[in-house]
């Protein structure tokens, strides 16, 4: 009986440690593959909208100057 207790204890700790590490790695991969590209796309689109708005403002300003 006394030989079984350490085996169960260390076996359980190993299993829990494995799932703990798996969760951390899974989260890191999700961040790398989902959140980082989404953030890059958001920033790209935001800059694109800003450039488009500036061009539109310049065009409107030129039209006002013509009339």
For residue 13, is it within any domain? no
CB count within 10 Å of CB 33 equals 10
For residue 50, is it within any domain? yes
For residue 66, is it within any domain? yes
For residue 19, is it within any domain? no
Predicted local confidence at residue 64, as pLDDT: 85
For residue 29, is it within any domain? yes
Which DSSP letter does residue 52 get? H
For residue 49, is it within any domain? yes
Provide the H-helix boundaries in 1-67. Answer: 4-30, 36-66
Average pLDDT of the chain is 94
For residue 59, is it within any domain? yes
* Structural domain for 41, as ranges: 25-67
pLDDT in tens, 40-55: 999 999 999 999 999 9
Query: What is the domain count for the chain?
Result: 1
Alpha-carbon torsion, ordered 34, 36, 40, 43, to 10 deg = 100
For residue 33, is it within any domain? yes
Predicted local confidence at residue 2, as pLDDT: 79
CA separation for the pair 24, 35 (Å, rounded): 15
Alpha-carbon torsion, ordered 37, 38, 44, 45, to 10 deg = 150
């Amino acid at each position: 009986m006394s030989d079984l207790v350490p085996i169960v204890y260390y076996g359980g700790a190993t299993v829990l440690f494995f799932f703990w590490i798996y969760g951390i790695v899974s989260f890191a991969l999700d961040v790398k593959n989902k959140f980082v590209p989404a953030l890059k796309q958001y920033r790209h689109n935001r800059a694109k909208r800003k450039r488009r708005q500036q061009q539109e403002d310049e065009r409107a300003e030129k039209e006002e100057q013509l009339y």
